[in-house]
């Protein structure tokens, strides 16, 4: 979900933190070497592209290997790409060609897991993802979501007939004959989850959907759905500062049932990059965070100790705040696959640089000990949106 954020603090190095400008300058030089015209991308063979398990160049010229992780039985790259706010919700939409190039650059860097939804835009995110990934559709996993009324309200609609209608529309926008992972975006209390799972089971049998997912569902709902149709992945907000899945039974249920977990907001919706403070101004017309409890001037200031903890630790690891936050998530469980998002190629490479950061048990304990003394202020989202989240 991290998109269109202010410039982020740079990596620490040689006893001091590199400025964000220095980091972006170095990344821009590399970015020039990986920018590829869409026509060339379409013509290149899979062998000529970065292999999913091959090495990928990073801003400091070190090579990393993009491994795979399993969401249930679905193999994906260990870090995915959240595509929401290339098109919406964290600022005005990016230029179409900029968005396409960003998604294709992610592919070139080894990302094979791309996340979107019909409600993002609405519709424009799916359209963008479909066009961007069309040249190599068979080499990627596309996740999308259903379940909102696209009528200007925040209403839910997971009626079986509605699901069957919107999946056809999403398939057209995504330029594909199947959606690899199809999430119910929010649990609809008006429709039994067994009916939803049964409908997805039918779509899987028809080949229009390959895997079933749930977003912001509680542990009880996950178990009930899984009994009808195997749930491949659960998506919820989870980050170094947002620990709800650890306490509400969701992570435990996923581990018990063999379900993957996909954290959205893995860098605290941008807060853990260290660049947001009480002076930050978010446009309420284009940025959802402007109405979230954790992005008021008071809470932005109150939660600064969390950022300070990451600042000190990142300096010791010659890494950035975002890289430590992502490395921490990757170290929690082998079935966790974060989906950081950005429209900035340098931020993309920074995020993927988290794969070079190794956190030892001692490192993890140090971070936990520090965090245990802190109390995160403010709720996750606004009250209306939190009403759609299962506890």
320 and 312 Cβ atoms separated by less than 8 Å:
no
| Distance, CA of 80 to CA of 114 (rounded, Å) | 6
d(CA 349, CA 109): 8
- What φ, ψ does residue 278 adopt, rounded to 5°? -60, -20
Degrees (nearest 5) of the Cα angle 27, 11, 60? 40
DSSP structure class, residue 143: E
Which residue is it, tokens 């048990």? Answer: 361
Write out the DSSP string of 60-90.
TS-EEE--EEEETTEEEESS-EE-HHHHSSB
CA–CA distances in Å: residue 366 to residues 14, 181, 328, 360: 22, 36, 12, 10
* CA pair distance 307, 286, nearest whole angstrom: 25
Q: Residues 197, 229: contact at Cβ < 8 Å?
A: yes
Q: Choose, from 90, 120, 182, 271, the residue flagged as catalytic.
A: 120
Instruction: Output the CA–CA distances (angstroms, integers) from residue 111 to 53, 174, 180, 235, 253, in the order listed.
Output: 10, 18, 15, 18, 27
Q: Is 107 a catalytic residue?
A: no
Residues 6+ apart with CB under 8 A from 49: 107, 108, 136, 139
What are the tokens at 70?
A: 């399993």
Report yes or no: 213 and 201 within 8 Å, Cβ to Cβ.
no
Helix (H) or strand (E) holding 144: strand 141-146
The set of catalytic residues is: 120
């Amino acid at each position: 979900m991290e998109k269109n954020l202010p410039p982020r603090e740079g990596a620490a190095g040689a006893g001091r933190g590199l400025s964000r400008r220095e980091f972006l300058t170095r990344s821009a030089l590399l970015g020039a070497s990986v920018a590829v015209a869409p026509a060339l991308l379409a013509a290149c063979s899979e062998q000529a592209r970065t292999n999913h398990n091959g090495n990928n160049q990073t801003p400091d010229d070190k090579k990393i290997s993009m491994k795979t992780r399993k969401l249930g039985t679905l193999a994906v790259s260990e870090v995915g790409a959240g595509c929401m706010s290339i098109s919406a919700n964290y600022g005005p939409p990016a230029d179409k060609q900029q968005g396409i190039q960003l998604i294709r650059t992610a592919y070139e860097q080894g990302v094979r897991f791309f996340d979107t939804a019909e409600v993002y835009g609405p519709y424009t995110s799916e359209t963008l993802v479909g066009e961007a990934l069309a040249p190599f559709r068979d080499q990627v996993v596309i996740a999308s979501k259903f379940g909102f009324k696209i009528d200007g309200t925040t209403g839910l609609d997971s009626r079986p007939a509605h699901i069957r209608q919107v999946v056809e529309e999403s398939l057209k926008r995504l330029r594909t004959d199947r959606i690899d992972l199809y999430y119910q975006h929010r649990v609809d209390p008006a429709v039994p989850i067994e009916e939803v799972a049964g409908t997805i089971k039918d779509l899987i049998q028809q080949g229009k959907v390959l895997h079933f997912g749930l977003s912001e569902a509680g542990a009880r709902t996950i178990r009930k759905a899984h009994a009808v149709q195997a749930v491949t992945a659960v998506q919820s907000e989870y980050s170094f500062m947002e620990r709800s899945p650890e306490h509400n039974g969701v992570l435990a249920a996923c581990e018990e049932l063999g379900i993957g977990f996909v954290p959205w907001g893995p860098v605290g919706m941008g807060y853990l990059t260290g660049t947001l403070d009480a002076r930050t101004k978010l446009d309420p017309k284009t940025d959802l965070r402007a109405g979230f409890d954790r992005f008021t001037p008071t809470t932005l200031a109150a939660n600064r100790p969390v950022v300070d903890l990451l600042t000190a630790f990142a300096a010791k690891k010659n890494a950035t705040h975002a890289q430590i936050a992502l490395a921490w998530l990757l170290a929690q469980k082998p079935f966790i696959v974060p989906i950081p998002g950005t429209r900035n190629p340098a931020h993309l490479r920074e995020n993927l640089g988290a794969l070079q950061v190794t956190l030892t048990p001692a490192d993890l304990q140090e971070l936990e000990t520090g965090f245990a003394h802190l109390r995160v202020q403010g709720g996750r989202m606004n009250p209306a949106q939190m009403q759609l989240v299962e506890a």
